[in-house]
Amino acid sequence: MKKYLALLAFIGFTSCSALNEPEPNAPIAESYFFPESNGLQYTYSHDDHNTSDTSTYYVVVGQNYGSFSRLERYENGAIVDGDPFYYYKTATSRDGISQCLLSKDGMAENIIALQGELTVGSSWAANDDGSIVATVQDHYDFYYLVGREKKYDDVVVVKYVDSREESGTYILRYFANGYGLIHEKRIIGNEADPSAEVSNLRLLELKTPNSIVPRTPDHWWDAHARFGIAPNLTPFEND
């Protein structure tokens, strides 16, 4: 009888332990944002209304604490001054929450592109007056771009709705762990077509300079000359 009761107690303990196991760690904002590493080259294709082009942008890391890094247009082996695609930086809110900021000029309206733990359904006010609300729509183990020719692992999707825009208008941004922004779509709602896509940005390639090429399959030097474990993702392409 004692053996029987001991067996029941053991089964009950193991069952409770299984039920009470913590959930996997939620994705953290900074891991999905642009790395702050000088010389990274992002090549995007961009369809905007009826035009299409492909552009390469070069990461220039901010020189001062708290300053913006930027994606500068890169043509014929040189940076085109004064034509950045995005300014970006990571900051901490008054409540100690990590925030990843995007800006078109580094001075006017900044957008909190990512914030804190990116659990599906979480949301936050993405600008100062709260007119833009960001919500985590999905979290994919992997995501394909460019006719399923390009695969990115561990991708978070965030939807941005601006109350100042026409109803049904929103932006979807896809962020891949270790890469940053890989896909951006702008949707405008109207009576004729409630989901008309007017802009589509896709990351075609990310190249790293020789100074930060992975030294081993799972380690690399970061922007601060620290040798650490690389994210669990497909290695960056590098010619």
Phi then psi dihedrals of residue 195, to 5 deg? -140, 50
102 contacts 42 by C-beta, under 8 angstroms: no
Whole-number average pLDDT of the chain: 78
Q: Is 1 within a domain?
A: no
Q: Is 17 within a domain?
A: no
Cα gap 40→7, rounded to integer Å: 59
Phi then psi dihedrals of residue 238, to 5 deg? -155, 120
Q: Is 64 within a domain?
A: yes
Span 26-79, pLDDT tens digits: 789 999 999 989 999 999 999 887 788 999 999 999 888 888 999 999 998 888
Q: Is 195 within a domain?
A: yes
Q: Is 200 within a domain?
A: yes
117: domain range? 26-229
Q: Is 10 within a domain?
A: no
Q: Is 141 within a domain?
A: yes
Q: Give the list of residues 6+ apart from residue 156 with CB closer than 8 angstroms, or none.
A: 27, 32, 114, 118, 136, 138, 139, 140, 174, 175
Least confident range from 115-129, 152-166, 222-236: namely: 222-236
Two structure tokens written together for 42? 């992002």
Confidence band for 195, pLDDT divided at 50, 70 and 90: low
Q: Is 68 within a domain?
A: yes
Confidence band for 8, pLDDT divided at 50, 70 and 90: very low
How many domains is the chain partitioned into structurally? Answer: 1
Span 80-126, pLDDT tens digits: 877 789 999 999 999 999 999 999 876 678 999 999 999 999 999 99
Exposed e or buried b per residue across 100-121, where buried means at least 16 C-beta atoms within 10 angstroms of its C-beta: bbbbeebeeebbbbbbbebeee
